[in-house]
Chain A
Amino acid sequence: MTIDIIPIEHMQVVYDRPEALACNHTHYCPGCTHSIAHRLVAEAIDELGLREQTILVAPVGCSVFAYNYFTVDGCEAAHGRAPAMATGIKRVSPDKTVITYQGDGDLASIGIAEIIHAAARGEKITTIFVNNAIYGMTGGQMAPTTLPNQKTTSSPSGRDIASTGAPLKISELLAQIDGAVYVVRRSLHDVKHIRQAKKAILTALKVQQAGLGFGLVELLSTCPTNWGMTPVDAMHWVETAMMPYFPLGDYKIADSVHKLG
């Protein structure tokens, strides 16, 4: 059977780089899902037309240069203090959309106080929490979210929960706080889940636009380099090892968020 070949000039573009994502090459390792998370945030910003009024607060960690990768205004917070800085920005400019983008070393370790109190105060900011169960930038040390028996450079025999405690489940923790109105966990390990994560980020930004309260989207992510895996194996590990411990789901959706539709 012969088919008529349609030249590319007669086709329409159905997927291209979002405008809110800068053209810079990222410094992330091959297969790192940080870049996927960046793209989803940028797409959500574009779809809501918020590019000119968004301020992104970058963390310390692998995503420390996040402000270079978006075409929105941004600033860099001290380690773990992104929610505190975002609080100040949002209170001074309540008409802006303020997003903090934080990893698990930043948010769940040194910045745990800031995130809990930002949620407790019901700050009208959105936090994108990238959980890859390890400290990426500093060379693969154990994080508060490292799984039991997971080998890292600072737990070479595997995480011993008898001496180091069990991994923190941040979404479950923050869902207990009244000021948090939208807390969900999604994963970036395959196309279906990436699309679900995008919807969650869109909802979280709408929650902020409506001024309902604190919103957080936790994204299970990979760190192929420090896990010592190929990117493809790392995606599989998220599904088989991380998801049983960090179940995906909607941990807090306040009635006011349901009314948004």
Chain B
Amino acid sequence: MAQGTIVIDQDRCKGCELCTTVCPQGVIAMDMMALNAKGYHPAVLQDPQHHCTGCAICAVICPDVCITVYREIPQPRKNKLEEVTSHGA
């Protein structure tokens, strides 16, 4: 499966927990040790095993648009990009 990751803008997070309930890999949790500027416990990515696939389901349900989703570039396209770069050089 594709590798991915997310970046959570914790200052925007209102701690609604909806992202934690929809993540298919179960790698989002609430950071109960932290408080953000709004006074909420923000969501945090806990993914030491790199299970996140960049499916973006968390970002679709996040009401506060806190989550930016990254995913690895699909292989064929990556090869093409390398070709273009090497020809360019």
Residues of A within 8 A of B (CB): 3, 5-6, 8, 10-17, 21, 25-26, 28-36, 39, 190-191, 194-195, 224, 230-232, 235
Known: A12-B71, A15-B59, A190-B61. A31 touches B16 (CB 8 A): yes
A-B CB proximity, top 6 nearest = A31-B16, A30-B14, A15-B69, A35-B63, A11-B70, A231-B16
Residues of B within 8 A of A (CB): 3-5, 7, 12, 14-18, 21-22, 40, 50, 54, 56-57, 59-61, 63-65, 67-73
Is A36 a contact partner of B69 (Cβ separation < 8 A)?
no
Is B60 a contact partner of A194 (Cβ separation < 8 A)?
yes
Nearest Cβ on chain A to B57's Cβ, whole angstroms: 5
Which residues of chain B are within 8 angstroms of A13 by Cβ–Cβ distance? Answer: 68-70
Which residues of chain B are within 8 angstroms of A26 by Cβ–Cβ distance? Answer: 64
Is A31 a contact partner of B63 (Cβ separation < 8 A)?
yes
Chain A: which residue is nearest B16 at the CB level? Answer: A31
Secondary structure call for the A interface: mixed
Which residues of chain B are within 8 angstroms of A25 by Cβ–Cβ distance? Answer: 12, 64
Is B18 a contact partner of A6 (Cβ separation < 8 A)?
no
Is B68 a contact partner of A16 (Cβ separation < 8 A)?
yes
| Contact for B73 among A11, A36, A194, CB less than 8 A | A11
Is B69 a contact partner of A8 (Cβ separation < 8 A)?
no
Known: A5-B50, A13-B69. A33 touches B5 (CB 8 A): no
Which residues of chain A are within 8 angstroms of B57 by Cβ–Cβ distance? Answer: 191
Nearest Cβ on chain B to A50's Cβ, whole angstroms: 19
Chain A: which residue is nearest B37 at the CB level? Answer: A25
Known: A26-B64, A235-B18. A12 touches B56 (CB 8 A): no
Is B65 a contact partner of A35 (Cβ separation < 8 A)?
yes
Chain A: which residue is nearest B70 at the CB level? Answer: A11
Chain B: which residue is nearest A230 at the CB level? Answer: B17
| Contact for A15 among B56, B64, B72, CB less than 8 A | B56
Chain B: which residue is nearest A4 at the CB level? Answer: B3
Is B65 a contact partner of A232 (Cβ separation < 8 A)?
no
Which residues of chain B are within 8 angstroms of A8 by Cβ–Cβ distance? Answer: 5, 7, 70
| Contact for A35 among B3, B22, B64, CB less than 8 A | B64
Docked Cα-Cα span, A194 to B14, in Å, equals 20
Nearest Cβ on chain B to A29's Cβ, whole angstroms: 8
Is A10 a contact partner of B72 (Cβ separation < 8 A)?
yes
